[in-house]
Amino acid sequence: MSEQFKALILNQKGEEFTREVKSIDKSFLKHGDVTIKVDYSDLNFKDGMILKNGGRLVKEFPHIPGIDFSGTVLESQSSKFNSGDEVILTGFRVGEIFYGGYSQIAKVNSDFLVKKPKDLTSKQAMILGTAGFTSLMAAFAIKAREEILLGEKVKNVLVTGATGGVGSTAVMILNKMGYDVTAVSGKDSKANYLKSLGAKNVINRAEFDKDPKLIDKGLWDGVVDTVGGKILANAIVQTNPTGIIAVCGNANTNELNTNVIPFMLRGIKLWGMDSANCSIRRREFIWGEASKLIDFDLLEKSIQIVSLEDLIETYPKILKGEISGRVLVDVNK
C-alpha cells in the first residue's frame, strides 16, 4: 500500500460538524505503537452517535472514528506483536479518544489488541465486532449461574431488543448453548427471522413496556437486556431465584426504575457487561470460543456491507432503529 490511504475524517469548527472520506498519510496517525492494515470495521450504535455529532465522546478534532476493526500488523514497536500478525480490536475508547478503524491504516496501543484466533477470518471477527463480543460476554454471564455459581441449570432465557446487533447474536449463541430463548422485539415482521436464529418464542415489546409490579411470576433463569427502562424493570421482577440479568445496552433509555425486592427475595444478579474495558485475558477466551457458538453462514444472510463513503449515508439508520442484523464496513471497498 502507498503512503497515502483513505480514512473517514470528522471535524468540527464552531457549530459546523463535518464527516468526509479523505486521502491522508501515516504522519496523520498520532497514537500507539502498532500500525495495522485494516480489513474491516463495523457500525455500532456508539459509532452512529459519534458520526452524527461526536456524541459528546470525541474531544479533539480532526478525528478518525470507528470503535472496532480487524486487520494485519504492518509495523510494530511492541514485543507482543510482529509484522504479519492478524489482530482484532474492540473497545478501549478507540474511535472516541483514540483514532479508530474507519481507515485503511490504523495505529494503536499494543495493549488494546488481541491476536485473531486461526479459526476466525478477519471478516467474521467484524461480523461480530463489539456487538457480537458483547453478546458472547452476556451469554457466558448467563451460563455462570450453573458453572461458576453452581446453581440450577439454565433453561429459559429472555433476550430484549432481539433484532439489534447484540440481541440477534445473543439469541443464536444462547440457543447454541442449549437454552430455550424467548426474544422480545417491537418488530412483528421479524418473528420468523428471530426463530431462524434459534428463538423458541417471540414476544412483542409492548408486553414489557409498562409499569412493573413489585414482584411478578418467575419466568426467566437468565436475561440479556439491550434496551433498559421499563422493559428491563419488568424482566427483573420476572426473573427466577438465583437468575442472572446481563445488562448490555440502553437502546430504549438510560433510566431504570425498580425496587430491591426481587434481589432480596430471589437472590438475582444484575451484571453489567463492560465490553470496552474488560481484560485481554477475558477477551482471548471469548474470541477463542466464538467459532464454536456462531453460525456465520446464517449471520452473513443478514449483514450489509458498505464502503467508507456509503457509511456516511448509512449511519443515521442505526440511530433510528432501522437496521436489523449487522453493518460491516469494508474500508478497502
Q: Is the domain of 40 the same as that of 69? A: yes
- Go through 9-32 and write b for each residue having 16 or more CB atoms within 10 A of its CB, e for each that does not: bbeeeeeeeebebeebeeebbeeb
Category of 258 on φ-ψ map: left (φ > 0), alpha (ψ -120 to 50) or beta: beta
pLDDT for 188 equals 87
**283 falls within a domain:** no
**288 falls within a domain:** no
**295 falls within a domain:** no
Pairing of strands 105-108, 114-115: unpaired
Q: Is the domain of 50 the same as that of 172? A: no
Q: Is the domain of 175 the same as that of 199? A: yes
Question: How many CB atoms are located within 10 Å of the residue 205 CB?
Answer: 18
- Residue 221, phi then psi, degrees to nearest 5: -80, -25
Q: Is the domain of 15 the same as that of 140? A: no
Q: Is the domain of 135 the same as that of 107? A: no
pLDDT for 151 equals 79
Largest CA-CA distance found in the chain, in angstroms, rounded:
63
pLDDT for 1 equals 47
**289 falls within a domain:** no
CATH number at residue 256: 3.40.50.720
pLDDT for 329 equals 97
Cell numbers given for 128: 461480530
pLDDT for 152 equals 86
- Count how many domains the chain has: 2
Cell numbers given for 283: 477477551
Q: Is the domain of 155 the same as that of 267? A: yes
Going from the C-alpha of 236 to that of each of 136, 207, 242, the distances in angstroms are 21, 14, 12
Name the residue among 21, 26, 34 with its Cα closest to residue 2.
26
Domain that holds residue 204: 130-272
Q: Is the domain of 140 the same as that of 93? A: no
**297 falls within a domain:** no
The DSSP symbol for 57 reads: T
Q: Please report, in tens digits, the pLDDT of each residue of the chain (333 residues total).
A: 458 999 999 999 988 999 999 999 999 998 899 999 999 999 998 999 999 999 889 999 999 999 999 999 999 999 999 999 999 999 999 999 999 999 999 999 999 999 999 999 999 999 999 999 999 999 999 999 988 888 789 999 999 999 888 999 999 999 999 999 999 998 888 899 999 999 999 999 999 999 999 999 999 999 999 999 999 999 999 999 999 999 998 878 889 999 999 999 999 999 999 999 999 999 999 999 999 999 999 888 888 999 999 999 999 999 887 887 789 999 999
Q: Is the domain of 251 the same as that of 143? A: yes
pLDDT for 2 equals 55
Residue with the three cell numbers 464552531: 14
- What count of residues does the chain have? 333
pLDDT for 58 equals 94
**123 falls within a domain:** no
Task: Return the SS3 of 189.
Answer: helix
